[in-house]
Amino acid sequence: MKKQELLAPAGDIEAGYAALYYGADAVYLGLSKFSARATATNFDADTLDEFTAYAHSLNRKVYVALNTVLQESELPDLIESLDICTRCKVDGLIIQDLGVARVMREKYPWFEMHASTQMAVHNKEGALFLQKMGFKRVVLARELTATEIKEIAAIPNLETEAFIHGALCYSYSGLCQFSALEYGRSANRGKCMYPCRAAFKCNGKESHLFSMKDMALQEDVSKIPVDSLKIEGRKKSALYVAAVTDYYRQILDGKGANPLKEENIKQIFSRPWCKFHFNGKDKAVIDRNFVGHRGLLIGTVDGISCGKLRFVTNHTVARYDGLQIDAAGDEKPFGFSVQKLYISNKSVFEAPTGAMVEIELPHGYPRLKIGDKIYLASSGAVKGAYHYTKPKPHEYRNNNDIDVTVKVKSERITACAGEFAANIDGTFVPANNPQKNTEAINTAFAKTGDTSFNLHSLVIENPQNLFTPVSILNNLRRDLYSQIKVEKHHGELPDILVANNKKNTSKYKIKIDDINYLNLLDLNDFAEIIYLLDPQINISVLKKLPKNKIRLALPAICRNPDLYSNVIESLLEMGYKKWEAANYWTLEILPINQLDISFDSSLYMLNTQAIAMASEIGASQVTLSLEDIKTNICNIINKSNISTSLIIYKDVPLFTSVGCIRDNDCKHCSHHPEWFDLERQGRRFKAISKNCQMMVFDEKPYCIATEVADLHPDFFRMDFLYRQYTAEEVRKITENLLTGNNVSDYITGNFLNKNI
């Protein structure tokens, strides 16, 4: 197997320098716009240029994450960002939005396209389809097992990238709608509010049901046959990046996992570690009791008296180090700085491993009890253990190459570079030493000084071997080089052919996962009935419905597409031509060129470039994003070159996850669907565990029927999925929606917001 790339994060240039110093083969980072870590410091054009130039001098790579979804008004800013990446000679771009992919493919083909983990690539079929679209690399979903990763990594000529260390999201990346619809801050636009870290009440007990431990694959990285091993952490410090990169560099270099370096990482920043589902399904990946940074476990409370904490430390601890204690009943650990430290009643600056220590507690400390866990959360010794070198400010930069031609005639010398030219008139006579004269011309034009370019080639046309004085050559060079301005804008948005047959009347669709929901409806009210397939479906139930109205849908997440093979084959043989895709794997297993394909909302159509890309892939319709706002939707409906569908009613999965919250272990699980009632700060939610997958919903449905009276998409859509309805409930709700009325209790998500 070829050498694997160790890929480290950089939220700022200092973290980038630390990553390179400690052995990262590549660094990924974000710009000020379109980064899925919008609250990180990120890079501007100057720091990006400086950093990429330095990284390339070390023969390392730099990838930029433009991995958010874009609204229509942001497309011109995308061009600016891509121009910056071009000038700074970035090695590849990590993207989520199909619109960004279209712009890159047509106007910036020199860039490598890497499919972000936000695209939720979780099976071989999804990876194969993105490869056909021109992606050189796919970043795999964190939820995959070693076996699943190996299967995808075996695809010829496709690079794969897998996370090996860092924070975990509860939901599949790209499929989390919680922050967007509940708080107006979209995770798909880098503004996540991290609701998964919050405490929820369930069955009267409050806990952090969705707060994930951190991933740490440690020496298991040797079992991963991917091209790139990725460390998460663009919001982490340079110290953290240095420590984690150093740790995995040593493992990859065959030196094994260093326990002391593990301890360093845990005290810099760490939640409890897990391997997620790498070695198979694991329920012990959620930390229900506490959130946030713990540190390194160094002991348990042995006693408290006279305001002093007593315990045996299993690690060196010093004055001014930071400690945290898991105090029962508190949401976060109790933390404080060690100000006074004692051994046998004697004040000391540092206590060794194995010592019984006493530490003075600060005023107002919480109730602590014997056995509470104590963590070293900050250590002066570790802070000083990861020095790194870096270049002087502005020492490195990326210059563009130019080609110059110098023409020497008896009455004039001319120097040209593309459209730029400079001349000096005079009388020029044959040179006594033509070779030395040629060398002088080469030397003069090689001096590019503080310009933003390098001399790539120099052609000298001097057939008479005329002498060119150095002073004249220098003046000629200065004149020419002062004219040359590096073009800042290379690209433009690709054209879109807009259909002229837009109508002012919208039709209705209904999407269901239970045929019985239609029993009391007049199907003439609906142009389409979308049916979400289940592998165990009895196909004969579809015969009750008019075939010309049926569109068959496949789910966004499918860890084993083979389960659907026989069902799909049978339905295609029966002549069902209309299908809906919610993830890229569907587009690989269906003969899309022979079918009428619609894109569901989870493929995020927020701009016309994305819609145009969908059309070029083979879609006849797209469903607009559930987390979008009305003003942007208005902006793209009339510009769309294919049909648009807008969801006006749905129980939206806020989380879609493999993190089960059932109390029983996997061995004793009934695997029957189980519902949970949840509460958070007065808001109520529903959660269902079914087929080893969790979905969390707001208790209220998303509904915007009243708010869309002035919009004219081709279709309005109402969804009855996941939650249980009666046929009578469906009838009453659809009556409201068809007459432009909302249901009695609902949420509108972002729809009426000014931004997301």
pLDDT digits (tens, 9 = 90+) for 2-22: 799 999 999 999 999 999 999
42-73 core/surface letters (b: 16 or more CB in 10 A; e: else): bbebebbbbbbbbbbeeebbbbbbbbbbbbbe
| Residue 214 half-sphere exposure toward CB, CA atoms < 13 A | 22
Q: Is 12 left (phi over 0), alpha (psi -120 to 50) or beta?
A: beta
Q: CA 288 to CA 285: how far, in whole Å?
A: 9
pLDDT > 70: percent of the chain: 98
Q: What is the DSSP letter of 739?
A: T
Instruction: State pLDDT tens for residues 572-587.
Output: 999 999 999 999 999 9
- Taking alpha carbons only, the member of 48, 64, 85, 56 closest to residue 9 is 64
Residue 650 reports pLDDT greater than 60? yes
Q: Taking a C-beta distance cutoff of 8 angstroms, is the pair 339, 363 a contact?
A: no
Residue 487 reports pLDDT greater than 70? no
3-class SS letters over 386-411: CCCCCCCCCCCCCCEEEEEEEEECCC
pLDDT value at position 241? Answer: 98
Mean pLDDT, rounded, for 216-244: 97
Instruction: Determine whether 395 is exposed, middle or buried from the number of CB atoms within 10 Å of its CB (0-12, 13-18, 19+).
Output: exposed
| Maximum mean pLDDT: which of 324-338, 608-622, 667-681 | 608-622
Confidence of residue 669 (pLDDT cuts 50, 70, 90): confident
Mean pLDDT, rounded, for 206-216: 96
Confidence of residue 617 (pLDDT cuts 50, 70, 90): very high
Stated as kind and residue range, the H or E segment containing 422 is: strand 420-425
Q: CA 388 to CA 21: how far, in whole Å?
A: 6
- CB neighbours of residue 272 within 10 Å: 17
Q: Is 655 strand, coil or helix? A: strand
- Tokens 């080609």 sit on residue: 403
Q: CA 15 to CA 8: how far, in whole Å?
A: 9
Q: CA 377 to CA 296: how far, in whole Å?
A: 6
pLDDT value at position 502? Answer: 60
Sequence letter at residue 240: Y
pLDDT value at position 422? Answer: 96
Instruction: State pLDDT tens for residues 514-533.
Output: 999 999 999 999 999 999 99
- Taking alpha carbons only, the member of 395, 397, 393 closest to residue 453 is 397
Backbone angles phi, psi at 43, to 5 degrees: -120, 140
Stated as kind and residue range, the H or E segment containing 343 is: strand 341-343
Class of domain 5-168+213-257: alpha beta
Could you tell me where in the chain the CATH 3.20.20.70 domains are found? 5-168+213-257, 507-651+701-738
- Taking alpha carbons only, the member of 551, 474, 541, 540 closest to residue 510 is 551
Residue 740 reports pLDDT greater than 80? yes
Q: CA 194 to CA 187: how far, in whole Å?
A: 9
pLDDT value at position 489? Answer: 56
Q: Taking a C-beta distance cutoff of 8 angstroms, is the pair 576, 605 a contact?
A: no
Residue 643 reports pLDDT greater than 80? yes
- CB neighbours of residue 147 within 10 Å: 10
Tokens describing residue 659: 């993190």
Q: What is the DSSP letter of 613?
A: H
pLDDT value at position 96? Answer: 98
Beta bridge pairs of residue 686 = 677, 697
Backbone angles phi, psi at 469, to 5 degrees: -60, 145
Angle at the Cα of 614 from the Cα atoms of 608 and 617, rounded to 5 degrees: 145
Q: Taking a C-beta distance cutoff of 8 angstroms, is the pair 680, 689 a contact?
A: no
Residue 27 reports pLDDT greater than 80? yes
Beta bridge pairs of residue 422 = 415
- Taking alpha carbons only, the member of 120, 67, 84 closest to residue 556 is 120
Sequence letter at residue 12: D
CA end-to-end span of the chain: 44
Q: CA 724 to CA 729: how far, in whole Å?
A: 10
Tokens describing residue 40: 């990180």
Instruction: State pLDDT tens for residues 395-439.
Output: 999 988 899 999 999 999 999 999 999 999 999 999 999 999 999
Q: Between the CA of residue 599 and those of 259, 558, 704, what are the distances in Å?
A: 48, 16, 20
Instruction: State pLDDT tens for residues 158-172.
Output: 999 999 999 999 999
Task: For domain 296-383, give the fold.
Answer: Elongation Factor Tu (Ef-tu); domain 3 (2.40.30)
Q: CA 739 to CA 398: how far, in whole Å?
A: 61
Q: CA 535 to CA 512: how far, in whole Å?
A: 15
| E-only strand ranges, 78-187 | 92-95, 112-115, 137-139, 159-166
Tokens describing residue 36: 């899925």
Instruction: Determine whether 714 is exposed, middle or buried from the number of CB atoms within 10 Å of its CB (0-12, 13-18, 19+).
Output: buried
CATH superfamily of 507-651+701-738: Aldolase class I (3.20.20.70)
Sorted by sequence, the CB contacts under 8 Å of residue 482 that are 6+ apart come out as: none
- Taking alpha carbons only, the member of 266, 268, 369 closest to residue 326 is 369
Residue 499 reports pLDDT greater than 80? no
How many residues does this entry show for the chain?
756
Q: Between the CA of residue 329 and those of 197, 290, 332, 334, what are the distances in Å?
A: 16, 9, 9, 11
pLDDT value at position 330? Answer: 78
Instruction: State pLDDT tens for residues 701-728.
Output: 999 999 999 999 999 999 999 999 999 9
Q: Taking a C-beta distance cutoff of 8 angstroms, is the pair 636, 607 a contact?
A: yes
Q: Taking a C-beta distance cutoff of 8 angstroms, is the pair 491, 83 a contact?
A: yes
pLDDT value at position 1? Answer: 60
Residue 488 reports pLDDT greater than 60? no
Sorted by sequence, the CB contacts under 8 Å of residue 534 that are 6+ apart come out as: 513
For the chain, the average pLDDT equals 95
- CA dihedral of 526, 532, 537, 540, whole degrees rounded to 10: 20
Tokens describing residue 466: 């005329």
Number of H helices, E strands in the chain: 17, 40
pLDDT value at position 712? Answer: 94
Residue 503 reports pLDDT greater than 80? no
- CA dihedral of 85, 91, 95, 97, whole degrees rounded to 10: 50
Instruction: State pLDDT tens for residues 293-316.
Output: 999 999 999 999 999 999 999 999
Tokens describing residue 396: 């490195």
Q: What is the DSSP letter of 22?
A: T
- Taking alpha carbons only, the member of 69, 30, 68 closest to residue 51 is 30
Q: CA 340 to CA 240: how far, in whole Å?
A: 27
pLDDT value at position 133? Answer: 97
Strands 596-599 and 373-378, sheet pairing: unpaired
Beta bridge pairs of residue 553 = 532, 580
Q: Is the dihedral of CA 694, 699, 705, 710 positive or negative?
A: negative
Residue 449 reports pLDDT greater than 90? no
- CB neighbours of residue 667 within 10 Å: 5
Q: CA 188 to CA 176: how far, in whole Å?
A: 8
Q: Is 581 strand, coil or helix? A: strand
Spacing of C-alpha 37 from chain mean position: 8
Mean pLDDT, rounded, for 732-747: 97
